Structure 1
């Protein structure tokens, strides 16, 4: 009898997922643009033609040219180099905010959804935090703690953690009542083991999808705080501070705001595209429609 070659189930399912994921043109574009931003951020010291802090008053407000691809700012600094280095900071802030907000939100959501006694107080706390507009709460936290990179990350993580907590809580309330969870409890398996192995493992998909949207929101919020002067030090290049500096010269040097603003749009839009693709692929109902 001829042997039938079969591939491992995990590998086969992963390959099918990637094929479905990459069938959508918008997802491919989003992944490609995001990959370019990551490469530029990682290789910034090798790609940037000038130091982002190098001053050259003689070359101030030079328009885009072969020497200065994106032009120069009011101090003669190369905008192309500063835009690349600003992307490093934005990606760092976005990743740190997602990790920290996930740690806070997932913990609160699991506790609220699994333990009935903790559900009401945690749910009310989540509702109270989500009642405030995101940017206003972030401004209040940064103003109270003092502007710095660490403060911005902590403030944005606190702002976005309730979003994840609400999703995790709602899913945990459903999973908690499923037969296999009740069977695990009847067998005397520890609560921590049930929460991590039986509940949390089934929440990876919604957490991953929401994480991509939070990444984009965090990058946009960081740019907004920097624009308002509540982010990192003005000497550190960020897309928000570059746009804030360029608004004074919008009539004579519009490239100062055009290129960093375009970078924000591309980065946020690419993350939204990837998030939409993940949601469609990981949601069973939407996946059947594709």
Structure 2
């Protein structure tokens, strides 16, 4: 048996068992369905909102003239404007929420990818090589945990010129401050795996460090990384929403749930629905990813099921 084969699991069998356990978890299945629906909602936003080729913030001034509309002082719910329109502007609230799903999911998933890539790279090397490098990384992670990341993100969003691609900046900044917890979890798992028989045997057979890291450690860290990444997405979505709510997130005309909630303050005294719809969308996204993450954790490691 070669060093590459040592410790290699039956991927198909384990995947089938994991999928079966995940589907057996009612709440995880609900979370997965909601996540899929949110993705479809974001992808099909132009079709669902009926504004293909237009801006989500297009003013529908004709809707302001609708009479007998119960939603605010603008146009009410109708076949054209499912959530109604904002008073005095005529902007379609459904279109803003639908296109805001794109922004929140793209930044949330993108920032999670940045955090996971950095965290895994730093954590697995620190746990495997140890020594001064491990001590340096551990102290750096401690510093970043104590760093006021939200204040820093607000400052960056405020000083960066508007011509800079703000969405990319927010994604990178949020992702950067998200990697320390990933690195800490991956480092801990690596410290355990490096003493396992298949790693020791690979090293005894002459496998180099790169081979051990890529072919032995990373595949066995996959389950942990997937679960943690799934549970990291809600925090990233919430961070983007918080920055946009404060006015330093993605700028107009890019829709954002956070900025929509902030704008709803002007209309909430007229009708609470302006706050309810984007708020429910944000709540559904964060809750569904958390439910899916919990289900994945139990499906990938059934021993944890009895601890909950």
TM-score > 0.5, shorter chain as reference: yes
Q: Which moves more between the two structures, 68-77 or 126-135? A: 126-135
The answer (yes or no) to whether the contact 2:31–2:288 under 8 Å persists in 1 is yes
1:152 aligns with: 170
1:209 aligns with: 227
- The alpha-carbon deviation at position 142 of structure 1 amounts to 3.4
- The alpha-carbon deviation at position 286 of structure 1 amounts to 1.6
Distance 2:151 2:296 in 1: 30
Distance 1:10 1:186 in 2: 25
Alignment of 1:18-33 (within 5 A): 18-33=19-34
2:124 aligns with: 110
- The alpha-carbon deviation at position 185 of structure 1 amounts to 1.8
- The alpha-carbon deviation at position 284 of structure 1 amounts to 4.4
The answer (yes or no) to whether the contact 1:234–1:241 under 8 Å persists in 2 is no
The answer (yes or no) to whether the contact 1:71–1:255 under 8 Å persists in 2 is no
Q: 1:73 to 1:231 in 2, by over 3 A?
A: same
In terms of fraction of residues, the more helix-rich structure is 1
Distance 2:159 2:295 in 1: 38
Distance 1:276 1:89 in 2: 24
SS of alignment partner, residue 249 of structure 1: coil
Distance 1:241 1:261 in 2: 11
2:114 aligns with: 100
2:69 aligns with: none
SS of alignment partner, residue 292 of structure 2: helix
SS of alignment partner, residue 277 of structure 1: helix
Deviations 1:127-167 (A, max 9, x none): 11011355334324434555710110011111111111110
1:40 aligns with: 41
Aligned residues: CA RMSD = 2.0
SS of alignment partner, residue 64 of structure 1: coil
Question: 1:135 aligned to 2:157?
Answer: no
- The alpha-carbon deviation at position 179 of structure 1 amounts to 2.6
Which segments of 5 or more consecutive residues in structure 1 lack a partner in the other structure?
1-8
Instruction: Please give the TM-score of this superposition, normalised by the length of structure 1.
Output: 0.90
Deviations 1:102-131 (A, max 9, x none): 111111101211112200111101111011
Q: Which of 59, 72, 78 is 1:55 aligned to?
A: 59
Distance 1:110 1:227 in 2: 36
SS of alignment partner, residue 84 of structure 1: helix
Q: 1:160 to 1:144 in 2, by over 3 A?
A: farther
Q: How many positions carry a matched residue from both structures?
A: 282
Distance 1:191 1:89 in 2: 40
The answer (yes or no) to whether the contact 1:86–1:237 under 8 Å persists in 2 is yes
- The alpha-carbon deviation at position 234 of structure 1 amounts to 2.5
Instruction: Please give the TM-score of this superposition, normalised by the length of structure 2.
Output: 0.85
Deviations 1:234-273 (A, max 9, x none): 2211101111111112100322221011100001100000
